[in-house]
Structure 1
Amino acid sequence: MRVLLRVLAPLLALGLTAVGVLVVIEVVAAWVRPVSGQALVAPWPAWRAALERLTWQDNPVAAIAIAAAVVGLLLVLLGLLARRHDIRLTAPSPDVTVTTSPRVLARLVGRRVRAADDVAAARVTASARKISVRAEGWDDQHGELRRTVTSQVDSLLDELPLARRPRVGVATRERKGPR
């Protein structure tokens, strides 16, 4: 989402800048040649004549209003969904706020899980509410790998100064093939 915002914001800014430049060009042209009434770049006299014929009850007015409202609502939702989802840590003093990103927490958990002898590979995703671990091991007999990974993650979470402990979900599977 944040990537979309980083692309969309400059495009909207360029569009508004282009409209502003056209307005400035037309205003300066009208000041320089006030008698002609001709447009320099945009055909604003024709647009004005078309807009004078429209009323609030016409279909294009309602369609444009609905489209503008939908686009505005989508932009607001996009902005709300693209906010940072930091994970709060316990502060050393009341005046200090300490946060970390979900990516850093996932890397910490991933390193701890991959350091276990039984784990061949692991994928970790983290958020402030949940940590999901998908681990592959060589010999997963009777769910031993799952218990090992869960204990590794729990011991790491005990060491970290998290303000709120996330839930931990562990999924394991046995890796086939030679070690």
Structure 2
Amino acid sequence: MRLVIRLLTVLLGLVLLAAGALLLTEIVLLTMFPDVTTPLPDTSSLEDELSAVSWRSTVVRTGAAVTAVLGLVLLWFSLRAGRGEIRLHDPAEGVTVVTRPRSLARVVGHRVRAEQGVAKATVVARRGAVRVTAVGDGEESEDLEHRLRETARTAVDELPLVSAPKVSVTVRPAKRD
């Protein structure tokens, strides 16, 4: 999600930079040389065409609808683009404690990797969910997924989180040569 926000921000910034540079060039050229042709097109014909367009025309309504939808999409992206901090219980009044999802993933990952029968494990944590993907070490262990789910759930429960995220565990067998 952050990548989309960063790309949209860069794109919007570049558009505004180009428009500002073009407008600044127009102002400087018209101030210094009033008779020179500027990079922007002559707007008198555009003004004549726009004066003939009604507010009730299809073009105007379509443009308004597209602008409103783009605004809502940008608003939705900006509201979803938080850092994803995970709140913990406040130790005292006026003190707010948060942690990053990466820290939560590390805590759960250390516990899961320490379990017997785990060759490797990756953990992805978000505000509402912790997802563990583990690879067994080759020994057939039917209860490995259950043990890892309990280990991950215990690791999450031991933290003073305001709301406990959902824990999901997937175990894949080790690749055979």
TM-score by length of 1: 0.80
The residue that corresponds to 1:112 in the other structure is 111
Q: Residue 100 of structure 1: CA displacement? A: 1.1
Aligned CA distance change for structure 1 residues 176 and 15 (closer, same or farther; 3 Å): closer
Quote the residue 1:55 is aligned against: 54
Aligned partners of 1:140 and 1:173 also within 8 Å: no
**Percent of aligned pairs with the same residue?**
37
SS at match of 1:116: coil
Alignment partner, residue 6 of structure 1:
6
* Corresponding residue SS for 1:120: strand
CA contact (8 A) 1:102 1:128 kept: yes
Residue deviations 1:28-70 (CA, integer Å, cap 9, x gap): 5555666x6x852211223222212222233322222222112
Which consecutive residues of structure 2, in runs of 5 or more, have no partner in the other structure?
none
2:172 maps to 173
Between the aligned partners of 1:59 and 1:51, the Cα distance in structure 2 is 14
Distance in 2, Cα, partners of 1:59 & 1:157: 55
Equivalent residue runs for 1:9-158 within 5 Å? 9-27=9-27, 29=29, 40-43=38-41, 44-137=43-136, 138-141=138-141, 143-158=142-157
The count of aligned residue pairs is 175
**C-alpha distance after superposition, 1:124-150 (max 9, x if no partner):** 222222222222223343x32123213
Provide Cα deviations, 1:81-136, integer angstroms capped at 9, x if missing partner.
22222111122212111111222211221122112221112222222222222222
Q: Determine the C-alpha separation between the residues in 2 that align with 1:71 and 1:154.
A: 41
Give the unaligned 5+ runs of structure 1.
Answer: none
Report the residue type matching 2:60 in the other structure: V
TM-score (norm 2): 0.81
Report the CA distance shift for 1:129/1:8 in structure 2 as closer, same or farther (over 3 A). closer
Q: Is the 8 A contact 1:122 1:133 kept in 2?
A: yes
The letter of the residue matching 2:108 is V
Task: Please say if residues 102 and 127 of structure 1, whose CA atoms lie closer than 8 Å, have aligned partners that are also in contact.
Answer: yes
Query: Following the alignment from structure 2 to structure 1, what is the Cα–Cα distance between the partners of residues 25 and 140?
Result: 73
Letter matched to residue 124 of structure 2: T
